[in-house]
Structure 1
Amino acid sequence: MQPLQIATVACACISLLLLLIALCSNNWVANSMSHSGLWKSCVNIGLIYTCVAHGMNVKDYYHATRTFMFFAMFAGAVSCIGLCAPIFGLQLGSISKAKTAAIASFVAALCVMIAMAVFTGETGGKASYGWSFGVGWATFPLFLITGGLAFHMNAA
């Protein structure tokens, strides 16, 4: 396995893992008494946090953010599978696995950018962002780097 291939697979796996962490965690907006994510809100009562699921009764920008994060998750998974396929000897037909992975990574980056921009635009200036929000934004350049590495790997 070549160093470029190792770097590309590692970047794709890290990008997808961070995206899943951001999507599932509930520290998108936080302050000293509470924190909330895309799925639930938690309030500090004494020494214990009490959490309540958002359900479907949330503002539309939550649905838009969730949807685009899920699209990014699927595109990121396609990228990881395409890049890991040669390692495990999987055959995906005559398609270029590196080119497919690169395109999927760029699609994932676009979906993350849309999701994060929608959330930022709707909460900007009115919120104190938590670590999950930062992790969500960090996946955007990581997917771009993965796509660039995969295209470079395809050209090499």
Structure 2
Amino acid sequence: MELCRSLALLVGSLGLMFCLIALSTDFWFEAVGPTHSAHSGLWPTGHGDIISGYIHVTQTFSIIAVLWALVSVSFLVLSCIPSLFRLGHGPLVSTTAAFAAAISMAVAMAVYTSEWWDQPPHPQIQTFFSWSFYLGWVSAILLLCTGALSLGAHCGGPRPGYETL
């Protein structure tokens, strides 16, 4: 199933890239008031900022998701080069890593979403999630698709038998 493996590699690379961009940018949340606007992300820049526990959880699970996604994409690349990797096991390892990355990113996003969702509204300030936040959710979906495509590549690939000995 070269098509599944190639699509898994493409989607996994996009998921990894989106996850890295979401993790490193400061446009997760925006607030617009009558005279000013501000945005924030996972990495506060002020010296006196007290970082809440939910930010630490989101940071940690996002970093874990990036590491799992990197493992997934690496094993997909290795599975495309038969001389470097044993036939058939690259997509299986990639499947496991991609699902772990998707779950980690989904936990990070759910924690962040649930914390900001419960904030009381201010009458003069409009608050909303911004593009980095949505990129995080898209990366979770892409990593889930990577796992499904890798599983398809593993199930549809050749099985070792007497012919390969």
Q: Which runs of 5+ in 2 are unaligned?
A: 120-126, 157-165
* 1:117-132 paired onto structure 2 within 5 Å: 117-126=110-119, 127-132=127-132
Shift of 1:144: 0.9
Please state whether the residue corresponding to 1:31 is helix, strand or coil.
strand
Output one character per residue of 1:3-54: Cα deviation in whole Å (capped at 9) or x when no partner.
22211100110000000000000000013310000013xxxxxxxxxxx347
In the other structure, the counterpart of 1:19 is 19
Cα distance in 1, alignment partners of residues 3 and 88 from structure 2: 22
CA contact 1:79–1:101 (8 Å) conserved in 2: yes
**In the alignment, which of 96, 99, 120 is matched to residue 106 of structure 1?**
99
| Larger displacement relative to structure 2 (88-97 or 129-138) | 88-97
Please state whether the residue corresponding to 1:139 is helix, strand or coil.
helix
- Report % sequence identity: 30
In the other structure, the counterpart of 1:35 is 39
Q: How many residues of Structure 1 are paired with residues of Structure 2 in the alignment?
A: 145
* 1:37-116 paired onto structure 2 within 5 Å: 37-40=41-44, 52-53=45-46, 57-88=50-81, 91-92=84-85, 96-116=89-109
C-alpha distance 90-115 of structure 1, shift in aligned 2 (>3 A): farther
Output one character per residue of 1:52-89: Cα deviation in whole Å (capped at 9) or x when no partner.
34788300000000000011011000000000113355
Cα distance in 1, alignment partners of residues 142 and 7 from structure 2: 12
Output one character per residue of 1:115-155: Cα deviation in whole Å (capped at 9) or x when no partner.
01110111115341010000001111111110000000001
Q: Which amino acid counterpart does residue 60 of structure 1 have in structure 2?
A: G
Point out which structure has higher relative CO (alpha carbons under 8 A, 6+ apart): 2
C-alpha distance 122-78 of structure 1, shift in aligned 2 (>3 A): same
TM-score by length of 1: 0.84
Computed over aligned residues only, the root mean square deviation of the Cα atoms, in angstroms, reads 2.2
C-alpha distance 54-99 of structure 1, shift in aligned 2 (>3 A): farther
Q: Which amino acid counterpart does residue 4 of structure 1 have in structure 2?
A: C
Q: Which runs of 5+ in 1 are unaligned?
A: 41-51
